[in-house]
Structure 1
Amino acid sequence: MTPNNAVLSNDFERKHNYLRISLIEKCNLRCAYCMPADGIVVPPKASLMTTDEIQAIAS
């Protein structure tokens, strides 16, 4: 696989040089975009991606 040297940036031109992927839904960082104060509905395990699927997308 050839490395991709493209830089990921958002609408405000902020550059991102890392990717944080949670493999479980038990993250304790409580980020507003994925874990609001009122909680979330956890989907059934069968509908979640496998570790191999997540690795394939991240690659």
Structure 2
Amino acid sequence: MTQRHWLSSVIKEQKEGGQRCPQTSLKQVADSVVVLQESISIARSNALALMHASSKIKVNG
């Protein structure tokens, strides 16, 4: 199960009043948030690199 699927299943259970092991759930949510923050950071770096590279490209026309 991917983290995204896991996270959505936990949220669904919480809305329905179901209860998983709260300690584990909280830890896994925290881990998911860290992974998400790292992904956003990488995406931001890639976007900046692309913008920088594209500003140096000259189109013949």
TM-score bucket of the superposed structures, by smaller chain: under 0.3
Q: Which has the higher strand share?
A: 1
Flag the structure with larger Rg. Answer: 2
Q: Report the TM-score when normalising by structure 1.
A: 0.24
Q: Which has the higher helix share?
A: 2
